[in-house]
Amino acid sequence: MRARECEAVLFDLDGVLTRTAAVHERAWSRLFTDVIATVGDAVRPYSIDDYFAYVDGKLRADGVQAVLASRGIDLPLGHPDDDPTAQTIHGLGNRKNDMFLTELERHGVEAFDGAAEVLDWLEQQGIPKAVVSSSHNADSVLRAVGLRHRVDLVVDGLMAMSQGLAGKPAPDTYLYAAEQLSAFPGRTVVVEDANSGVEAGRRGGFWVVGIDRGAGHDTLTRHGADVVIDQLDELFAVDRGLSRS
């Protein structure tokens, strides 16, 4: 899609604009390694492949359920306010969030190269921008890396919960963001690194740009990406007068 045809650009956050996907992955690994250890040696250990297959881009509770189901582990859903020590889906999700915040405090977070430049260029073109993330911490992460003022709207896990929106791979959060920006999905770009997010964009009728942060070009294409890039500065490269020769 060329910039002149574009009514809005909707970005995922972790792994697209900010280098937080690795922080999330470390927290998930700690959580599931501990949980699976309590079940026994017969259960397949958690690996980074599980992160991309079951967790990346999804709401926390959905990710917990998907990994546990892949191991035949059944826990009660519980309540979103469950204590992190609770042996429920939401309890484990809240425990993971505590681990994520601890990792974030210890190691900090950075924006990917080109993130600020792309957002500023879109602003100059008058193209609205939103972040659509499953994270409950999207706003604070954006502020920490100095990008919050560069986006017009943040639709995160908390907003999805308050609005009753299904998480990715359902298209609901992206469709909601497009509606808030008065943008038609077929003329709106979704930028995603996660299989679930790419699928959400495809199901919503968006133009989907996959960015390969580890999922793989073929996998992102198979899940519905119209084009796959490796770096943010490839986005609208022709319109921005850039060359990657």
Handedness of CA 29, 159, 1, 206 (dihedral sign): positive
Looking at 12, 56, 139, 212, which residue is catalytic? Answer: 12
Is there a catalytic annotation at residue 218?
A: no
CA distance linking residue 130 with residue 142, whole number of Å: 12
Residue owning tokens 């979103």: 80
Closest CA to 3 of 231, 190, 187, 234: 187
Take residue 7 and report the two structure tokens written for it. 């009514």
Tell me the residue length of the chain. 245
CA distance linking residue 12 with residue 157, whole number of Å: 12
Is there a catalytic annotation at residue 152?
A: no
CA distance linking residue 169 with residue 30, whole number of Å: 24
What is the DSSP track for 86-150?
SSSHHHHHHHHHHHHHHHHHHH---BPTTHHHHHHHHHHHT--EEEE-S-S-HHHHHHHTT-GGG
- Measure CA 17 to chain center: 10
Torsion angle of C-alpha atoms 236, 237, 241, 245, degrees rounded to 10 = -170
Active-site residue set:
12, 14
